Copies of this chain bind each other. A is one copy, B any other.
Amino acid sequence: MSTAVRPSLIEISPHTTRPTALPDHVYAVLKQRILSCALPPNERLIEKKLCAELRVSRTPLREALNRLSHEELVSFQPHAGYRVAGITLAGFKNLIELRSIVEPQAAALAAERATPADLAALRAQATQPHDPSEEHSFIQYCQANSHFHLLVVRCARNSMLENIVMSALDMYQRPTYLRIGRQMDPSNPSSKHHAIVDAIERRDAEAARTIMRQHIQGGGERIMAALQAAHIT
């Protein structure tokens, strides 16, 4: 490829890993565009066009596409190419079920294992304010929400759990964005988050588990209703 200055590839990245090598850049950019719906669901992803746009050759691009397809953010058929993964009600139900299984247990472990530094970080993230008058407020709010859940699972000190929850939170992002325009959670998720931190702080694993489960299932049902209202099957 040319040695010309590469355009700023990294825009924003929800939970990125090594932002070093070329395939990782491409992965991060595509993931951001997919999760933000800048690349809409079911959009065809043609290697040559993406190569030209991102100024990379097909090799690192294909590596990124492969990663995304294994994370089920893009779908793939042999010799028929890649598409941005569609959003389905069934898929979202599976996702909620997964989160309802893993995150409450992770919260219970967090209650046993969180350090004082962890607690401080959790409290800070739960307190994170968002200005509803701002244009980007809803997206910021979603990402802050997501980050809080990530911090909780990190307290469980289990990288496998962490990876699963990270991936689940990523997949949760697009269905959430479809709710843009609708009112936010009337039960105020921030107070739920504080309640979770409270439980972790007093080492009450059972309460942490229960509140987390209710929090996830409540939010999930609201989004499912929105999906059905949007006639997404």
A residues adjacent to B (C-beta < 8 A): 18, 20-21, 59, 62-63, 66-67, 70, 78, 94-95, 97-98, 101-102, 105-106, 109, 158-161, 164, 168
**Interface SS, A side:** helix
B159–A94 contact, CB under 8 A?
Answer: yes
A97–B66 contact, CB under 8 A?
Answer: no
The docked-state distance in angstroms from the alpha carbon of A168 to that of B98 is: 15
Q: Which listed residue (B21, B94, B158) contacts A161, Cβ 8 A?
A: B94
A161–B70 contact, CB under 8 A?
Answer: no
A101–B105 contact, CB under 8 A?
Answer: yes
Residues of B within 8 A of A160 (CB): 94-95, 97-98, 168
Closest B-chain residue to A109, C-beta based?
B97
Q: Which listed residue (B66, B159, B164) contacts A63, Cβ 8 A?
A: B66
Residue in A66, A94, A97, A160 whose Cβ sees the most chain B Cβ within 10 Å: A160
